[in-house]
Amino acid sequence: MFHTRATALASFAAAGVFLLSACSGNDATDAGASAPSSASGAGELAFRNGTAQQNNAPAQTGDLAPDAAPAVAAQKPVAREWVQLSAGRAGQLDPVVVNGAGFTLYRFDEDTTDPSKSNCSGQCATTWPPYLVARGGKVFLDGIDKSSVGFIERDGAFQVTIGGWPVYLFNKDTKAGDTNGQGVQGTWFGVKPDGEKANDGQSGDGAGAGAGADPDPQAPPASSATFFQGANFADPSQGVAGPGCQNVRFSGSLQAGGTLKIWDGPDCTGNVKVVDGNVRDLSAIGFATVRSVRFLG
């Protein structure tokens, strides 16, 4: 049973109050114990069972520090004094791991787990801030098995891994319980407590760029796109351009420079989804078949 209620966190976090459910009590365990990690020095971290509140973590620090919110952390790396890993629910994702402020944690298909390695840097890390804990920091485990948690060295701190996957926040998640990063570009998904993709890799509510019901209002509309036979832009391919509705032949992946609508039926009929930019695997966002497209520009 999962205990964190992400939707209750947003209003209380703003007031500096922790409202997190009980889990395994506030027993302190393994203080300063070495983490299952590829990062040297991760033994500096202290592990505790239970929530930050149960362990009397200082309010407005760690995950609740103002600069730890995704949109702010996107501006520069943030190494938190403490992190909380909670098995809970966010939107339609159940289970999914959320942090101590109720924000969804994500994994990236282009990263590796053996060894754990992040392949998201530069602009990618601005959109997807790596979830960092400072050296000497604390890790609170709320329904998460310690054996699933690890760390890799990054930006003078440690990036948390779950099931070997480095984890991240999404800069367009603005409140506790948002899942706007779910399914983006067919490579980003909420992470389960064991490291697997939340909701079997399907899009949750409010899914954002690349897979969502609504496009980013700041994203430009696409006027053309290229559809590929296979995932990861594998040929053969078909280029299509607007205006209006166009039928397409291939359903593996697509490349586009903005937002467009795709349908699973011809002539823009059937189920519809708005995507924003490239999608490496259309089946991963629930569209194993694409038969038509409409350009929004």
pTM of the model: 0.61
- pLDDT for the residue 283: 84
Q: Where are the alpha helices (DSSP H) in the chain?
A: 9-14, 70-73, 123-127
Tokens in use for 114? Answer: 């053996």
Residue 47 has pLDDT above 70, yes or no: yes
Tell me which of 244 and 137 has the higher pLDDT: 137
User: Pick from 157, 5, 148, 138: which is nearest to 79 by CA?
Assistant: 157
Tokens in use for 278? Answer: 């490239």
- pLDDT for the residue 38: 61
Pairing of strands 224-230, 259-265: unpaired
Q: Within 13 Å, how many C-alpha atoms sit on residue 128's CB side?
A: 28
Per-residue CA distances from 31 to 48, 97, 138, 140 (Å): 7, 22, 9, 11
Residue 67: pLDDT band with limits 50, 70, 90: very high
Model pLDDT for residues 167-202, shown as the tens digit of each residue:
999 998 999 998 888 888 888 999 999 999 997 444
Distance in angstroms (rounded) separating the CA atoms of residues 107 and 168: 6
Q: Mean pLDDT across the chain, nearest whole number?
A: 81
Residue 296: pLDDT band with limits 50, 70, 90: low
**Residues 142-156: what's their mean pLDDT?**
96
Tell me which of 49 and 13 has the higher pLDDT: 49
